[in-house]
A = this chain, B = another copy of it.
Amino acid sequence: MRSPNRGISKVRKAMESINHQYLLAHHPEGALQESNFTWQEAPVPKPAAGEVLVRVLYLSLDPANRGWINKGGSYRDPVLPGQVMAGFTIARVVESKFSGLAAGDIVECEAGWQDYAVLPGDKLHRLEGDAPLELWMNVLGLTGKTAYFGLLDIGKPQPGETVVVSGAAGATGSVAGQIAKIKGCRVVGIAGTDEKCEWLRELGFDAAINYKREELAQGLRAACPDGIDVYFDNVAGDTLQAALLQMRLHGRIVCCGAVSQYDKAERAPSPMGLPGLLIVRRLTMQGFIVMDHYDRRQEAERELLQWVREGHIQYRLDIVDGLKQAPRALIGVLYGDNTGKRMIRVDPNT
């Protein structure tokens, strides 16, 4: 992925550094604030037997991060006050005491919001091949694979069906919509700015609805006069409600995320009409987490990379420089500031 020499010179430089970190200061009550995090400097840790020291290159910022810091946790144990904020990262191995990895290797890991981390070697996933590094945090990364497994395995779109994607200009939604196009579907995206909707049309979406400018239920009826076969839901709340009412017989709702709800102290009520609508229209609502499908991650990565190379999947990167920016950048993700995948370039030399 990069030459060993370049890797080693970086290792030397890195070893001289201190480790900047964001700790969770306290669980948010309602809207996330920058003050929920504490910036600190710490010594670079040393790996023990079986462990690996990594230098973080990129930190992924994802709506799901917000759920991880709730008091009750989510699909994983919560981050507790005083702990380093958790996050998915791409990193370079600095020092390895794990037989399967060597200095200079590029890995995917959960190093969190810091410059360096020591992790058990078996928790690191070495990235192979010659794909650009950023792609591993994007189309080939968690968000792209979430779109892949969610749309194909849960949504099961058939050629000619109508697929609606919310959060459609986000890192997951934009890939989900493009995969649906590859599979021969009619694709409608929901996003929150005219610029995002314009981009969706450039990507080949058949229609795009700016839910902040037009009444969503009406927009969906106009864009999907025969109803929705697959609704890929990244946002929940009112958007899910509007889509649910427009679902067609035997439709599938892919419950991928609920970004409209993550940053609220009180969750919105569940959509009305459940389970009645599910029965009458024979609908399926299914939640999933991408890691459950990781036995097939290589298949997904191979196919996604091919689609990128053939031009069928395009992407936008929203790279923010400097770990220091992470709290503000995450808050932005929760409110749709980003178009495409937002990430922090943690190592300025990357």
Contacts and interface: CB of A to CB of B under 8 A. Distances in A.
A287 B292 contact: no
B282 A285 contact: no
A288 B282 CA distance: 5
A1 interface: no
A236 B277 CA distance: 12
A269 interface: yes
A258 interface: yes
Which of A253, A275, A284 has the largest number of chain B CB atoms within 10 A?
Answer: A275
Interface residues of A, number: 35
A275 B267 CA distance: 11
B276 A274 contact: no
Given A270-B269, A284-B286, A275 B236 contact: yes
29 contacts: A75-B282, A236-B275, A236-B276, A240-B275, A255-B278, A255-B279, A258-B275, A267-B273, A267-B276, A269-B269, A269-B270, A269-B272, A270-B271, A270-B273, A271-B274, A275-B287, A277-B287, A278-B285, A279-B287, A279-B289, A281-B287, A282-B286, A282-B288, A282-B292, A283-B286, A284-B286, A284-B287, A285-B286, A286-B286
Interface of A: 74-75, 233, 236, 240, 250, 253, 255-258, 261, 267, 269-289, 292
